[in-house]
C-alpha cells in the first residue's frame, strides 16, 4: 500500500494560515538551512517553477510521485498563471466546479474523492501520495491519512485556518521523527496507529 501523507506548514498554534488560509507569513522561515532540508529531503514538495528558480528542478522525487489538493489551494497557482504547479508529480485536484481541467497534467476529481485516493493507495510500487491540503480536502480525507509531516514554523496566528476543516474522531499518531532548525522551525513526522 502506498501512504497518504498530509505534509503541511503550520504555525505554533496549529494553523495552516490566517483566517483566509494565507500562509505567506510563514515563508519568512524558509532560510538557507530550511531550503537545504527541502532540497535534500522533500524536493518534490516544492512547486516546479520554484524548483527552477532555486536551481534544483532536476532532482528526483524522493518520497512522493503523486499530489492531491483542493481546488482552493490549486487556485493560488492558477491565479499566478500556472496551471500545472507540480509538473514533476501526478496531479489530482478535488473540485465539483472545475468542469474542465486547466491543464492536461491535472486530473479533476469531482466525485468519489475518497475512493480515488483509496485506488491510488492500492497501486503497486511507486512512491507515496502528497496530500497538500487545504483544510477542507484534508478534513474530507482525514480517515485515509497514514502519515503527518508537520512543518511547524515559529509564528503564532492567534486565529486562523485549522489543519482539518471537518470534524474528526480522536486518532492516535505515533512520533516517527523530529528535526529542529536554527530559526526555531520543527518538522515532526507522525505515523497513524491503526
CA–CA dist 49, 104 (Å, integer): 17
**Residue 76: all three cell numbers together:** 493560488
CA–CA dist 155, 153 (Å, integer): 6
Interface residue with ligand NAP among 94, 106, 185, 187 (CB under 6 A) is 94
Instruction: For the segment 3-22, give every residue that binds ligand NAP (CB under 6 A).
Output: 8-9, 16-17, 21-22
Q: How far is the CB of 178 from ligand NAP (least distance, A)?
A: 18
Q: How far is the CB of 14 from ligand NAP (least distance, A)?
A: 11
Q: How far is the CB of 156 from ligand NAP (least distance, A)?
A: 14
128-133 and 64-70 beta bridge pairing: parallel
CA–CA dist 187, 157 (Å, integer): 18
Instruction: For the segment 34-63, give every residue that binds ligand NAP (CB under 6 A).
Output: none
Q: Does 95 bind ligand NAP (CB under 6 A)?
A: yes
Q: Does 187 bind ligand NAP (CB under 6 A)?
A: no
Instruction: For the segment 155-184, give every residue that binds ligand NAP (CB under 6 A).
Output: 161, 165
CA–CA dist 171, 151 (Å, integer): 20
CA–CA dist 164, 190 (Å, integer): 16
Measure Cα distances from 143 to 60, 95, 115, 171 in Å: 29, 19, 12, 9
Interface residue with ligand NAP among 58, 60, 79, 97 (CB under 6 A) is 97
Residue number, 79 or 124, with CB nearest to ligand NAP: 79
- Residues making up the chain, counted from first to last: 194
Instruction: For the segment 134-153, give every residue that binds ligand NAP (CB under 6 A).
Output: 134-137, 140
Could you tell me which residues are beta bridge partners of residue 70? 94
Residues that bind ligand NAP (CB under 6 A): 8-9, 16-17, 21-23, 69-73, 76, 94-98, 109-110, 113, 132-137, 140, 161, 165
Amino acid at each position: 500500500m502506498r501512504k497518504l501523507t498530509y505534509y503541511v506548514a503550520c504555525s505554533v498554534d496549529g494553523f495552516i494560515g490566517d483566517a483566509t488560509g494565507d500562509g505567506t507569513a510563514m515563508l519568512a522561515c524558509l532560510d538557507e538551512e530550511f531550503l537545504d532540508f527541502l532540497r535534500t529531503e522533500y524536493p518534490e514538495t516544492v512547486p516546479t517553477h520554484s524548483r527552477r528558480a532555486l536551481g534544483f528542478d532536476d532532482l528526483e522525487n524522493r518520497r512522493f510521485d503523486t499530489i492531491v489538493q483542493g481546488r482552493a489551494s490549486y487556485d493560488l497557482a492558477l491565479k499566478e498563471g500556472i496551471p500545472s504547479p507540480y509538473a514533476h508529480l501526478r496531479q489530482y485536484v478535488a473540485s465539483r466546479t472545475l468542469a474542465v481541467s486547466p491543464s492536461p497534467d491535472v486530473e479533476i476529481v469531482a466525485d468519489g474523492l475518497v475512493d480515488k485516493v483509496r485506488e491510488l493507495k492500492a497501486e503497486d510500487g511507486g512512491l507515496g501520495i502528497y496530500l497538500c491540503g487545504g483544510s477542507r480536502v484534508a478534513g474530507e480525507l482525514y480517515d485515509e491519512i497514514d502519515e503527518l509531516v508537520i512543518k511547524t514554523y515559529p509564528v503564532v496566528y492567534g486565529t486562523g485556518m485549522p489543519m482539518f476543516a471537518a470534524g474528526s474522531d480522536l486518532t492516535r499518531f505515533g512520533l516517527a521523527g523530529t528535526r529542529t532548525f536554527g530559526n526555531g522551525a520543527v518538522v515532526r513526522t507522525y505515523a497513524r496507529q491503526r
